[in-house]
Amino acid sequence: MIPTLPVLMAKRALISLAARLARAAGGLALSLALSLAVSMVVAPQARAEYRAYELEVADLHECRMKKLEKCKTWVVQTSMAPDLYQRTHGGVYRIGVVLLATWMCYGDTSDFKAVCPRPQPVNPKYQPGQKVKVKLKKHVTEGWRGDVEVSYYQRDIRSNVYGVRFPDRRMVYARYYEKDLESAEPPAPRDEPPP
């Protein structure tokens, strides 16, 4: 990656400052200042990591004003946390935000670059649209049945994560690991000989 003009100018200014300090302080300071200046010029650029979020955003203001049963929603992928996104895009009275998925990206989002795409699931057990049942013991959602909406792989825990919407529970959305779900689809009919 080529450094921009302001970065080059800042490096040149630091080298100049280091040389002046070295002349003023003597020999040891000269070697220290020169090594600092050289390391700043030839050092590789650092790479960063950041968390990406997929959010479902609802226009609550329009929903209240028009007294709609179902609010208009859209999906956004961003590097802003859900609470920060909500505060910077109108506040809690203007929009509602639901976290659909989150994952780690490497690089940066400067210059209005888009976040990296959501990781694909690895050998997924369930597909989007499939009906599942929560088998997480002693959890408020134990036994709930819903539809898989989102699936992705979370590398740090080495598991697929599924976003499940529960239509009969006021459209509640929650995320689960693969081990916490089971298929809610009826088993395929078996061909048995008549008695």
CA atoms within 13 A on the CB side of 83: 0
Q: Of 118, 133, 162, which marks where a domain is finished?
A: 118
Q: In terms of domains, do 51 and 114 share one?
A: yes
Quote the pLDDT of residue 134: 95
In the chain, how many domains are there? Answer: 3
Domain boundary among 94, 118, 142: 118
Q: Domain boundary at 99, 118, 137, which?
A: 118
DSSP result, 79-134: SS-HHHHHHHTT-TTTEEEEEEEEEEEES--GGGPPPPPPPPPSS-SS-TT-EEEE
Query: 141 with 172, same domain?
Result: yes
Residue 82 domain-assigned (yes or no): yes
pLDDT on residue 64: 87
Domain assignment of residue 141, yes or no: yes
Same domain, 62 and 113: yes
Residues 54 and 114 in one domain: yes
Strand partners, 175: 163
pLDDT at 33: 60
Considering the domain architecture, whether residues 51 and 22 belong to the same structural domain is answered as no
Task: Decide if 191 is inside a domain.
Answer: no
Kindly state whether residue 178 falls inside one of the protein's structural domains.
yes
* DSSP code at position 178: G
Residue 19 placed within a domain: yes
* Global model pTM greater than 0.75: no
pLDDT for position 71? 86
Is 194 part of any domain? no
Its domain, for residue 30, covers 5-42
| Per-residue pLDDT, 112 | 83
What is the structure's pLDDT at 57? Answer: 96
Beta carbons of 148 and 132 less than 8 angstroms apart: yes
84 plus 99 within the same structural domain: yes
Tens-digit pLDDT profile for the chain (195 aa)? 455 666 667 677 767 776 676 666 666 656 666 666 666 666 566 667 899 999 999 999 888 898 888 889 999 999 999 999 999 999 989 999 999 999 999 887 778 888 999 999 999 999 999 999 999 999 999 999 999 999 999 988 899 999 999 999 989 999 999 999 999 877 666 666 666
Residue 193 belongs to some domain of the structure? no
Whether 113 and 125 share a structural domain = no
Regarding whether 83 and 38 lie in a shared domain, the answer is: no
One domain, residues 102 and 69: yes
